[in-house]
Every structure is written in structure tokens, then in C-alpha cells.
Structure 1
Amino acid sequence: MAEQFDVIVIGGGPGGYVAAIRAAQLGMKTAVVERDKLGGICLNWGCIPTKALLRSAEVYHLMQHAADFGLSAEKIGFDTKAIVQRSRKVAERLSGGVGMLMKKNKITVIKGTARLEKGGDAPKVTVKGKDGKDTAYAAKHVILATGARARTVPQAGLEPDGKLVWTYREAMVPDAMPKSVLVIGSGAIGIEFASVYRTFGADVTVVEMMDRVLPVEDEEISKFAEKAFKKQGMTIHTGAQVEKLDKGASSVKVHVRTKAGKTEVIEAERVILAIGIVANTEGMGLDALGVKMDRGHVVNDGYGKTNVKGLYAIGDVAGAPWLAHKASHEGIICVEAIAGEKPHAFDKSNIPGCTYCHPQIASVGLTEAKAKEAGHTVKVGRFPLVGNGKAIAMGDDQGLIKTVFDAKTGELLGAHMVGPEVTEMIQGYVVGRQLETTEAELMHTVFPHPTVSEAMHESVLDAYGRVIHI
């Protein structure tokens, strides 16, 4: 007889393992099925190890500018192998930590690949282990948290080969630092890798199909960031498309159709594909179950519930935004709904987005353009970091804080930031939106001095004609 659980979570990434822990906290007998390492792509090959690489790049950048701070540093250099090893150790440490959390919460971890079949209260779960043998499990509730993988282009020459054409996996573990890199795609993943490789001296070219880099961000922030990237020495082609790649022995000739309609051939040692992700849904039996899908993603009802009895979906497999913190929160809402806790339905509008390049980018809510499209009359505030004392003292005063308010109600519709540590600061605006704060509360909030966060306050003041320091 199949082993019985209250909840089986398929996928041990930031959505899956968090959902499993919350289920265990609520007294449910819980299992997690994971075919690789606990922590998923985010912890092992995404969010965490890339931040370790970016931290190494940040320190190297500061060493190169030691004289700006009255310091001296001689024979500045880097060891690519050591940088990669540090990144991998950070990921391994945290993956091990997730394993400890599973033990602490008495969650059963089942290693293998799952597939689903029609069942009673929920689909039956069969797991093929490393030995190739199938083991059956049953649960009252099954949660899909299988995540996603890098999107590839089904076009001759554009497929990743692990040598000259990389996905994020290969880009994270280079044997040596390439002298030149061409990045296809300028979303968060593409720009973060562009930032790392440019800081370590590579000639970096970014090709983006849309009319601007970081196209999901507010246009003003995108333009500010693009100017900063170009100042760092990046070459950026927007409104452009890669037509084909000619692979040589140790480099690639990339044929790029530019905005002007001309084809330009750019040679680079390595090409990084960063053109989005594809949900992991294949081979699981979802078609046979009749699971409702939308553009490759599983459709849920805001509480994780799918159209199939006892089956739920969270995280990347359930659609945008493809963010670890979205997956975790969605998992908690799903489990609490299963337990009858009556949580609020998942609200995507309050999920912050962060890009950890230099300068950092962070945002929440509606852009100015989207707010106007939605019918709002808006008040917009801006504060450049050249007017912020802490940013000047840090030697990092190139940035902008932008806030968008509803002119009639004072509702904070969106906040958009570029500059130092904005990925840490954005949470202030996220909390404000969650508490349905208006401009009045934000204007009367005391921000500590000297901090970069004071610029958040000034941006709010600017929207209402009360800015102080510009």
C-alpha cells in the first residue's frame, strides 16, 4: 500500500520547501519530492550564487577605486576559480541548511522524479528514484512547485552548447574570465551577468529586442540605468534581434539586426542566453489529468488551487512574476488555505522586483505609464541621489528614487529606484503599500539621518511640492 501523507510537495525550491515547512507547522504529515538538490534553482543556480558573484565584483570595483577614498591598493587582481568556488560554497551551505530545516520540521524528503496519475482526494504520486525503481505515494493534497528552466531558442546556432553559448548555469561557473561576452536579453538575469563580467574586465555587449533595457521597469529608471551601463563601457543594442550565430573554435560571430534595420556582426568569446524561462511541466502527466494551462504555465485560483481536485500549483510553474519570494509567499497562502486558515488571496501587485547589478534596480507596484493606462490621475515625485548626504559620503551618488501616487486618494501606486542598496530599501515602500498607506503617512514618517533611505522620503515630498534638498 502506498505511503500516505496529508501533503506532498513536488519540488524543493523556495516555493516548495517553504510550503512544506508551513504545512508541517500546521500539523500536517508532509513530504517533499526533489530530483536534485534542496533549495531549487534559486538557491543552487540562481538568486544566491549569483549574488555571491556580484559581491565579489562589487569588492573588486571598490578596490579599483581605492584612491577615491584616500586609500591605496597595489597589484589588484582576481582569481576566477576562487570567485566561483566561493559562490558554490555559499550555495552548498544554504542547501544543507534547507536539509536541516526538513529534519527539524519532520518533513520526509523523497529523492527522485515525480509523475501524477488520477486518484481519489488528489492525484497519485509515483516517484522514480535514482535506482530507476518506482515508488507510489498518496496524499490528500499535492502541490506542484517544480519551478522553471532557462528558455532556449529553437534556431540553428542559437542553442546553448555549454562551451561557447551559455545559459545561466555555465555563466555562473566559468573556467576563466572571457575577454568578451555578448548577452542576449536585458532582463534581471541578463543585466546581472553583464554587470559581473563587465566589472571583471570583459567587453560586454547586450542585445535586447524591446526598445529599452530592463523593459518591465519604469521607463525613466530604465533610461537612467542604461546610461550608467554605457558609462561603465557596455555596448547596448535595443530594438535589436540576433539573427544567427557562427561558432568558431573559441569564439562566436553574432549577427545582430539593429534598430536601424542593418545587420552588424559582433564577435565575442562567449554568448549568454538570458531570454526568459520555461515552466517545468513535462513528463508529469498533467495533460492526462486535464490540468488547465496558460502559455505553458499551470493556472491557479489565487490560493494555489488548480482545476483538478486536490492539486495545487505555486511559484514559477504557476506563472509570473518568476521570483523566489513570490513562490515562497504563494506557497504559504496555498497551505494555509488547505488548512482552513482563510488567508487573503495572492496579490501580485505588492511583489517587489530587484536587479542586483551596479547600480541596483528595485521596484514595486505600477510604473507611471501603467498607472496612467489604468485611468489614474497621478502625482509623481523624484529625488536624485546627488542630493543625498549618505550617498555622497559613500562615493555612490548616481541614482534616482521615483514615486507614483493617485492624485485623488494619495494612494502609493508604485515606487521605482535605481542606485546603491535600493534592493534593501524597496521593502519600505512594499510595507507602505501592504498597509494601504497614503502620502500623508509617508510624509510624516521620520527617516534616519544620514541614510540613503532619506531619498525615499524626499521623493514623496517632491510629488506634493514639498521637497527639501533639491
Structure 2
Amino acid sequence: MMENYQVLVIGAGPGGYVAAIRAAQLGLKTAIVERAELGGVCLNWGCLPTKTLLRSTEILRLAREGTPYGLVLDSAPRFDLTTAIKRSRDVAKQLNRGVHGLMKKNKVTVLTGHARLLGKGKVAVDNAGAEQAVQAQHIILATGARARAIPGFEPDSESIWTAREAMVPKALPKSITVIGAGAIGVEFASFYATAGSKVTILEASDRILPVEDSEISGLLAEHLRKQGIEIYTGAYVENKETTTCGIKVNFTKGGSPLSVESEKVILAVGITGNVEGLGLENTKIQVDRTHIIVNEYCETDEPDIYAIGDIAGPPWLAHKASHEGVMVAELIAGVEDVHALDPKSVPSCTYCHPQVASVGITEEQALEQGFEVDIGRFPFLGNGKALSLGEPEGLVKTVIDKKTGELLGAHMIGPEVTELISTYALARTLETTEVELMQTVFPHPTLSEALHESVLSAYGKALHI
């Protein structure tokens, strides 16, 4: 007898497993299908393991720079890559076990295998050749995405890496070329440069972190270069050559041919949605450049089938996927006043050194959209807590609508800004204006005071610059 579920989630990443939990909380008979690890790429091979590795090199950097703080070491600190990787994998395993526990706690049935839509709510689940069919009233597609390859640079696990191989190297490469300077590329560049590799970044856009505010991108490039990272923007990769030292990457910049040679190459040029083999041909679902087309409520063109997370398009962020998972589960359950996600209110975080974070639109985008804006800037150099931490680099930039006082965007580079950005995200959700932000009391001494001062500076009221 075919098992029947009210909700079937395909894919157990941060979108899928959260959707399953929320659906079960709402009393819906729920199952989730996963062909690999619960938690998906983010938990097992992405967001969390990379941040764990970055924490290791953060401590290494602090040890190297510890003399002014009174730290005395008998010899120069040495980085043990094997230990750092083991800790990263242990954290991922612990989180994976946690997701297993959450599925059990919420009575979500876990089906192992590859799911394929058969039409009319039927789904086949293939587990190493053993296939079972299930029926579902509602289906949520959350199959995520994988690293995109470029012609001639197909990953081989030896010389050309994706993020997965870059997380578990057998040894620290003497040199690395990172192709792509989005968040993933910049984070790996930061990790390996601090660990001791010679790092070169190649980016086709005119700046690194091209989706961020240009002023913030420029400041980050300055800091990375000071750390010894070589950066080429406007760089178009042509081909590669195998050499005795590794790989020579040939590229053009401004029409001029250039090349860089390194032991390893990391590909960080975007993602490809996992849409193959899902049986989409048995539905009315439409796909555009490997991403499923959905409306603001993540509904596809096939009734009762939804798509969330990376497979449903940008922004490609775990917290966006989780939020969509909750939204869809509540929509299915008939919860009142379910709000569609506003992509402009999804915070973005990059965990390099120094950190970068943002929410909303950039100054350039605001002007392109016809806004008259007031711009606030406050450097961490004027923040007492940043000075006491020894991390005064960076600034907080706010973009405010001159007519309404709406916080259109906030952009930050500096210490712990990936934590600070939530304040501005909440302000946007509450539709806070500059008046409330200026009247809010921020505790002292904290890094968050810089958020207050940035808004004050937009109106000539900053107190510490």
C-alpha cells in the first residue's frame, strides 16, 4: 500500500528540513526525502564548516598579532591544518546529528534516496536501486544547487577544486588561484592567505563582491591586498596549462593577455540548480537557467508543488531558504496573514577578514531607482569598542530615503558586522525611519554604537567624528 503524506519535502538542506519541521508543527503528516546528508550542503559542506575553518585562522591571526595585547609566545604560532579540518568536520557531524534529532522529535518521516516526480502527487524514491512510491497532497522542492563549472576548468578533486575539496585539503598548498570573488571565493581566499598560502583572485566583474555596495567592495579589496592577496578584476579566464608546479591560468584583463601559476585552483563562479532527474517533465513546472520559476509565495506552475531555496533563484542564502520553507509550510496549513519574502530585506554576510554585511539596496541602486538619498557613514576608527578590540578598520554606511526617512539599505565592513546587520534587518521589517533609529539608545561601549552614529551622520549629527 502506497504511503500518503500531506506534505512531502524533497531535499533536506536548510530550506527543506526547516519546511518539514514547520509543517509537522502545524499538524501535517510530513515526510522528507534526502539522497545525501540531512542538513544539505550548507550544514555539511558549506556555511558551517567554512565558518569553523575561518575561526581557526582568525585565532591564528590573533596569535600572530598578540604582542600588543600582552600575549607572549615562546615561538611563532604554527598552524596545524589537520587539526583545523578535523574540528570543522566534527562540527558538521554534530549539526547533522542535530537535524536527525529534530526530524525524530517532530515525527517527520525521513526517506533516503533520489526523488522523482511522477505526476498527480506521486513521487518515486530510488535508494540504490530499491524504489518505493509515495503520494503527497503538497510537494516542496528544496534540492539546492552545486558549484558551477566553467569550460576547460572542470573540477578534478586534485588540482581544480570546488568548495568541497577546498574544505578538506590533504596539505596546505603553497599557492592558490581563486576564480570568482563572490562571498565563497573571498572567504576561501581569506582562509588560505591567513593559513600561509600565496593567494590570487581572478574576478570578471570590475570589483570583488560585485553585489555589494561599491564603496564597501573597494575597502575590502584594499584590506585583502594588505594581507598579501593579489587581486585582478575585469579578468576573463581563457584556458589553463599544466606545469611542473601545478596549473597556469591564462586570462585577459583590458584586452591584455596575462597568466598566474599556482598549485591549486578553486572555482567559485556561482551555482547550478539541482533540477536534473526530478521528473519535472511530468509537471507544468518551468525552469530558467537551472532555476525553477516561482511566484512570490514560491508556487510553481504545477498546482500544489512549491520550490524554495537555491533552486528557486537568488538570493542564494541559507537563511532565505529557511524563511521560504516556513512561509510555504504555513501557506499549505492555511495560516492567516502569511507574508511573502521581500528579497531586499534578506541580509547578506561574508565572513572574510574584515567581515562584510549588508541589507537592502546600495547607494548606486537607490539613485538608479530615482530615490533622493541621505548617506550616513561612520568609521569604526571612531568606535571605542573597535579600538579596544584592536580592529578599527572598516565603516558603517546607511542609505536613507530623503523624502520618507526609510532605511533603504545598510552596508558594513569591519569587526563582527555579520552579527550587527540583524539590527538593520529588523529596522527594515518594522519599517523604521531615521527618527526611531536616532532616538534608540545603543549600549556603550559596543560595536553597535557605530550603527547609531551612521544614521546620525546622515543628518550631520554624528557625535564621534
The TM-score with structure 2 as length reference comes to 0.98
- The one-letter code matched in structure 2 to 1:91 is A
RMSD: 0.9
Q: 1:129 aligns with which of 127, 130, 134?
A: 127
Q: Show the counterpart of 2:250.
A: 255
Q: 1:305 aligns with which of 290, 299, 324?
A: 299
How far apart, CA to CA, are the structure 2 residues paired with 1:300 and 1:74?
A: 59
Q: Is the 8 A contact 1:164 1:250 kept in 2?
A: no
User: Could you tell me how far 1:367 is from its partner in structure 2?
Assistant: 0.2
SS in 2 for 1:125: strand
Q: Show the counterpart of 2:52.
A: 52
Q: Show the counterpart of 1:105.
A: 106
How far apart, CA to CA, are the structure 2 residues paired with 1:82 and 1:311?
A: 44
How far apart, CA to CA, are the structure 2 residues paired with 1:288 and 1:5?
A: 20
SS in 1 for 2:285: coil
What does 1:68-79 align with in structure 2 at a 5 Å threshold? 68-75=68-75, 76-79=77-80
Q: 1:386 aligns with which of 381, 387, 391?
A: 381
How far apart, CA to CA, are the structure 2 residues paired with 1:251 and 1:33?
A: 40
Q: Show the counterpart of 2:327.
A: 333
Would you say 1:352 and 2:350 are equivalent positions?
no
- The one-letter code matched in structure 2 to 1:302 is E
Q: Show the counterpart of 2:148.
A: 151
User: Could you tell me how far 1:249 is from its partner in structure 2?
Assistant: 5.3
Q: 2:264 aligns with which of 259, 270, 275?
A: 270
Q: Show the counterpart of 1:85.
A: 86
- The one-letter code matched in structure 2 to 1:71 is L
SS in 1 for 2:404: coil
- The one-letter code matched in structure 2 to 1:265 is S
- The one-letter code matched in structure 2 to 1:100 is G
Q: Is the 8 A contact 1:152 1:160 kept in 2?
A: yes
1:143-202 CA-partner distances (Å, limit 9, x unpaired): 00000000001x23x111110010000000011111101000000000000000000111
Q: Show the counterpart of 1:30.
A: 30
Q: Is the 8 A contact 1:25 1:105 kept in 2?
A: yes
How far apart, CA to CA, are the structure 2 residues paired with 1:246 and 1:69?
A: 46
Q: Is the 8 A contact 1:164 1:247 kept in 2?
A: no
Q: Show the counterpart of 1:139.
A: 136
User: Could you tell me how far 1:428 is from its partner in structure 2?
Assistant: 0.2
- The one-letter code matched in structure 1 to 2:84 is I
Would you say 1:404 and 2:399 are equivalent positions?
yes
User: Could you tell me how far 1:74 is from its partner in structure 2?
Assistant: 3.0
Q: Show the counterpart of 2:9.
A: 9
SS in 2 for 1:44: helix
How far apart, CA to CA, are the structure 2 residues paired with 1:128 and 1:209?
A: 40
SS in 1 for 2:138: strand
What does 1:279-318 align with in structure 2 at a 5 Å threshold? 279-318=273-312
- The one-letter code matched in structure 1 to 2:356 is I
User: Could you tell me how far 1:374 is from its partner in structure 2?
Assistant: 1.1
- The one-letter code matched in structure 2 to 1:72 is V
- The one-letter code matched in structure 1 to 2:43 is L
- The one-letter code matched in structure 2 to 1:268 is S
1:47-90 CA-partner distances (Å, limit 9, x unpaired): 00000000001000001011121221233101111111110000
More deviation, 78-87/288-297: 288-297
What does 1:203-282 align with in structure 2 at a 5 Å threshold? 203-248=198-243, 250-259=245-254, 261-282=255-276
Q: Specify whether residues 89 and 469 from structure 1 end up closer, same or farther in structure 2 by C-alpha distance, changes over 3 A only.
A: same
SS in 2 for 1:443: helix
How far apart, CA to CA, are the structure 1 residues paired with 2:131 and 2:89?
A: 32
1:111-137 CA-partner distances (Å, limit 9, x unpaired): 000000111xxx31100013x111000
Q: Show the counterpart of 2:313.
A: 319
Q: Show the counterpart of 1:114.
A: 115
Q: Is the 8 A contact 2:245 2:262 kept in 1?
A: no
Q: Specify whether residues 7 and 147 from structure 1 end up closer, same or farther in structure 2 by C-alpha distance, changes over 3 A only.
A: same
- The one-letter code matched in structure 1 to 2:25 is Q
1:316-362 CA-partner distances (Å, limit 9, x unpaired): 00000000000000010011111111301121111000000000000
SS in 2 for 1:425: helix
Which 4+ residue blocks in structure 1 deviate beyond 3 angstroms?
none
SS in 1 for 2:154: coil
How far apart, CA to CA, are the structure 1 residues paired with 2:435 and 2:422?
A: 18
User: Could you tell me how far 1:248 is from its partner in structure 2?
Assistant: 3.3
More deviation, 299-308/18-27: 299-308
1:25-60 CA-partner distances (Å, limit 9, x unpaired): 000000000001100000000000000000001000
User: Could you tell me how far 1:296 is from its partner in structure 2?
Assistant: 1.8
More deviation, 205-214/303-312: 303-312
User: Could you tell me how far 1:250 is from its partner in structure 2?
Assistant: 5.0
Q: Specify whether residues 296 and 453 from structure 1 end up closer, same or farther in structure 2 by C-alpha distance, changes over 3 A only.
A: same
- The one-letter code matched in structure 1 to 2:49 is P
User: Could you tell me how far 1:295 is from its partner in structure 2?
Assistant: 2.3
- The one-letter code matched in structure 1 to 2:144 is G
How far apart, CA to CA, are the structure 1 residues paired with 2:7 and 2:395?
A: 46
Q: Which runs of 5+ in 1 are unaligned?
A: none
Would you say 1:62 and 2:62 are equivalent positions?
yes
- The one-letter code matched in structure 1 to 2:132 is T
Q: Is the 8 A contact 2:178 2:268 kept in 1?
A: yes
